[in-house]
């Protein structure tokens, strides 16, 4: 028997996961150089300026800065420079949790075997300052990702108060007793974020953000091809499969390299299971919907009950307007009562004002929806919700998740949400 017929073609599945950090990013040389020029000061010990990076979803902001952190620390260690970089993501965290991460990451780069789990944010900040002051380092670079995605405070409206408070503090650590060089790179998806900060906070940042533009379709193709070549055995992925995939992931609401990697991974798994020796367009077509559904499922499974139920109520009232599916807060409120009845609980009788302050903010942060507020006047109930996902897939996934969590009949929910 021919041994090669048993050979798998999907050799390195890990290369197509979210956690895989490539050596470099394609088409980002200029941006990387600009950032490095701004922070090189840390290695020679002079004072720098805070950097702000912005760009839309999936353009490589997080990975660019993680690569930067990795390479910065490698060079510093190798050359004996007394500086280090730490990376934290603020996504979905409270300010206190972010400080905890900053502190624990700082312990790590200093080689201190310690993790802290308790303390208020100001206590954690004080320990951070003390630790850094006592360390042999001359400077620290803090990379704070997704600061526009800090967890919203329950009681406040979605002002930037939380974010501004955090940003103000990290730009003023010297006034709190920090004696070392310290600068930060802050990353946001929202391009207007900086303008919404208070003047004192804003003034410590580079005037213009470093902007990560979106990739053109040919570039997306190139990135996908590069990744596929590393993950699969030589010459097993068709060019036409890659072009088709690039086409799909550049459709606005399907957008995303991560989705592209995910679909390639699905295709690889199916190929090896069935003994298929090539990844072609037909195979990609076959796994596209499953791949998307899996990704939506991951997101929906991460929601808390109130967010999930609010999403279901929004889906119940979704209308097709032009190319997009949308609804209004004023429709979601009564729909919550319908869903509550079905689930047999009174827990989810929310007012429009609450929905806007909390569940919708989270749903927007995980990219399932976009929220548009009316410009003037209005009472907020006319706030519009636009779905970012394929509505049929989303309904299916939400119905399955509700059925499972609340122990109700999935068919009832599917029937209610309709198609
Ligand atoms: N230029 C590139 N070359 C290779 N891979 C890339 C490139 N840009 C992005 N990627 C990959 O695409 C995925 C998304 O990138 P990343 O998470 O850094 O995006 P982001 O800008 O942080 O998005 P978000 O706003 O959603 O956080 C990652 O797996 C990353 O490795
Ligand atoms: Mg990111």
CB 113 within 8 A of CB 129: no
Q: Residue 394 pLDDT > 80, yes or no? A: yes
**Is 225 touching ligand 1 by the criterion CB < 6 Å?**
no
Ligand nearest to the CA of 60: 1
Torsion, Cα of 18, 22, 24, 25 (10° steps): -30
The fraction of the chain above a pLDDT of 90, given in percent, is 61
Minimum CA distance residue for ligand 1 atom 5: 25
Give the residue, out of 58, 69, 227, 256, with the most ligand 1 atoms within 8 A of its beta carbon, to mutate for a pocket test.
58
Average pLDDT, the chain: 88
Mean pLDDT of 146-162: 66
The finding on whether 390 has its CB within 6 A of some atom of ligand 1 is: no
Residue with CA nearest ligand 1 atom 26: 57
Ligand 1 atom 24: residue of nearest CA = 57
**pLDDT of 170 over the 50 cut:** yes
pLDDT band at 2 (very low <50, low <70, confident <90, very high): very low
Average pLDDT estimate for 310-324:
90
Q: Report CA-CA distances (Å) from 360 to 5, 108, 332.
A: 51, 36, 11
Whether the CB of 63 sits within 6 Å of ligand 1: yes
For residue 22, the ligand 1 atom closest to its alpha carbon is 31
Q: Residue 24: nearest ligand to its CA?
A: 1
The CATH code for residues 302-417 is: 1.10.10.10
Question: What does 126-156 look like in DSSP terms, one character per residue?
Answer: HHHHHHHHHSS-SEEEEEEE-GGGSPPPSSS
Strands 181-188 and 139-145: parallel
The reported pLDDT for the residue numbered 253 is: 61
Q: Using the atom order of ligand 1, give the atom closest to the CA of residue 226.
A: 4
Distance of alpha carbon 100 from alpha carbon 116, whole angstroms:
7
- Please write the tens of the pLDDT for every residue from 27-39: 999 999 999 888 8
Residue 39 CA to residue 62 CA, distance in Å, equals: 17
Closest CA to 224 of 210, 240, 208: 240
User: CB of 54 closer than 6 A to ligand 1?
Assistant: no
- Quick check: CB of 61 below 6 Å from ligand 1? yes
Across the strands, what pairs with 84?
140
The whole-number pLDDT of residue 373 equals 76
d(CA 112, CA 106): 8
**Terminal CA-CA length for the chain:** 50
Q: Give the position, in ligand 1's atom list, of the atom nearest the Cα of 18.
A: 29
Measured from the Cα of 219, ligand 1's closest atom is: 1
Per DSSP (E only), the strands in 163-230 are 181-188, 210-212
Buried (b) or exposed (e) across 239-269, using 16+ Cβ within 10 A?
eebbbbbbebbbeeebbbbebbbbbbbbbbe
pLDDT at position 302 is 92
> Is the distance from CB of 110 to CB of 137 less than 8 angstroms?
yes
Mean per-residue pLDDT for 350-362?
89
Give CA separation, 266 vs 17, 165, 215, 285, in Å. Answer: 11, 43, 23, 11
Q: Which of 76-80, 226-230, 364-368, 379-383 has the lowest mean pLDDT?
A: 379-383
CATH code for the structural domain at 215-300 = 1.10.8.60
Q: Ligand 1, atom 18: nearest CA belongs to which residue? A: 60
CATH placement of domain 29-212: 3.40.50.300
> Is the pLDDT score of 378 beyond 60?
no
Q: Can you give the pLDDT at residue 55? A: 93
Question: How many other C-beta atoms lie within 10 A of the C-beta of residue 369?
Answer: 23
Ligand 1 geometric centre to CA of 231 (Å): 17
Q: Separation of 58 CA from ligand 1 center, angstroms?
A: 5
Structure confidence at residue 155 (pLDDT): 45
- The pLDDT assigned to 301 comes to 96
Domain boundaries, the chain: 29-212, 215-300, 302-417
Q: Is 58 in the pocket of ligand 1 (CB under 6 A)?
A: yes
From atom 9 of ligand 1, which residue's Cα is the shortest distance away? 60
Distance separating alpha carbons of residues 100 and 339, to the nearest angstrom: 38
66 CA: nearest ligand 1 atom: 18
Query: From the CA of 191, which ligand is nearest?
Result: 1
The ligand 1 atom at the shortest distance from the C-alpha of residue 91 is: 27
CA 67 to ligand 2 centroid distance, Å = 13
Q: Which atom of ligand 1 is nearest to the CA of 25?
A: 3
Any ligand 1 atom below 6 A from CB of 256: no
pLDDT reading at 106 higher than 50:
yes
Q: Is 363 helix (H, G, I), strand (E, B) or coil?
A: helix
Q: What angle do CA 180, 184, 190 make, to 5 degrees?
A: 165
Q: Do domains 29-212 and 215-300 have the same CATH topology?
A: no
Span 212-239, average pLDDT: 95
Q: Could you tell me the pLDDT band of residue 47, with boundaries at 50, 70 and 90?
A: low
Q: How confident is the model at residue 269 (pLDDT cuts 50, 70, 90)?
A: very high
Band (pLDDT 50/70/90 cuts) for residue 419 is low
**Ligand number with the minimum distance to the CA of 55:** 1
The residue among 10 and 156 whose pLDDT is bigger is 10
> Is the CB of 265 within 6 Å of ligand 1?
no
Neighbours of 352 (CB within 10 A): 20
| Ligand 1 pocket, residue 28 CB under 6 Å | yes
Query: What separation in angstroms does the CA of 22 have from each of 18, 221, 289, 312?
Result: 11, 16, 26, 37
User: Is the C-beta atom of 84 inside 6 A of ligand 1?
Assistant: no
């Amino acid at each position: 028997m021919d041994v090669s017929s048993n050979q798998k073609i999907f050799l390195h599945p890990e290369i197509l996961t979210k956690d895989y950090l490539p050596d470099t990013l394609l088409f980002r040389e200029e941006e990387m150089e600009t950032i490095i020029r701004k922070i090189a000061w840390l290695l020679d010990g002079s004072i720098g300026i805070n950097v702000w990076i912005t760009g839309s979803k999936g353009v490589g902001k997080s990975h660019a800065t993680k690569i930067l952190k990795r390479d910065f620390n490698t060079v510093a260690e190798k050359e004996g420079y007394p500086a280090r970089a730490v990376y934290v993501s603020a996504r979905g965290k409270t300010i206190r949790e972010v400080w905890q991460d900053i502190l624990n990451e700082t312990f790590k780069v200093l080689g201190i075997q310690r993790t802290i789990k308790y303390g208020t944010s100001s206590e954690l900040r004080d320990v951070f300052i003390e630790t850094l002051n006592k360390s042999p380092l001359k400077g620290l670079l803090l990379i704070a990702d997704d600061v526009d995605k800090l967890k919203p405070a329950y009681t406040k409206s979605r002002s930037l108060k939380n974010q501004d408070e955090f940003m103000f503090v990290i730009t003023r650590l010297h006034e709190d007793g920090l004696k070392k060089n310290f600068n930060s790179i802050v990353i946001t998806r929202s391009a207007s974020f900086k303008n919404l900060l208070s003047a004192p906070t804003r003034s410590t940042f580079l005037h213009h953000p470093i902007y990560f533009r979106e990739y053109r379709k040919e570039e997306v193709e190139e990135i996908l091809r590069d990744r596929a070549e590393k993950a699969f055995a030589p010459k097993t992925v068709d060019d036409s499969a890659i072009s088709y995939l690039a086409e799909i992931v550049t459709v606005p609401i399907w957008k995303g390299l991560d989705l592209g990697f995910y679909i390639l991974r699905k295709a690889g798994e199916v190929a090896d299971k069935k003994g298929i020796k090539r990844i072609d367009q037909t195979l990609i077509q076959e796994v596209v919907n499953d791949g998307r559904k899996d990704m939506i499922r991951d997101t929906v499974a991460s929601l808390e009950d109130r967010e999930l139920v609010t999403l279901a109520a929004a889906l119940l009232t979704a209308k097709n307007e032009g190319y997009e599916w949308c609804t209004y807060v004023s429709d979601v409120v009564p729909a919550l009562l319908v869903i509550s009845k079905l689930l047999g609980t009174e827990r989810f009788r929310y007012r429009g004002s609450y929905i806007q302050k909390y569940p919708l903010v989270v749903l927007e942060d995980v990219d399932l929806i976009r929220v548009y507020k009316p410009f003037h006047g209005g009472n907020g109930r006319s706030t519009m919700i636009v779905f970012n996902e394929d509505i049929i897939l989303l309904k299916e996934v939400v119905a399955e998740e509700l059925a499972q969590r609340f122990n109700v009949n999935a068919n009832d929910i599917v029937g209610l949400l309709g198609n």
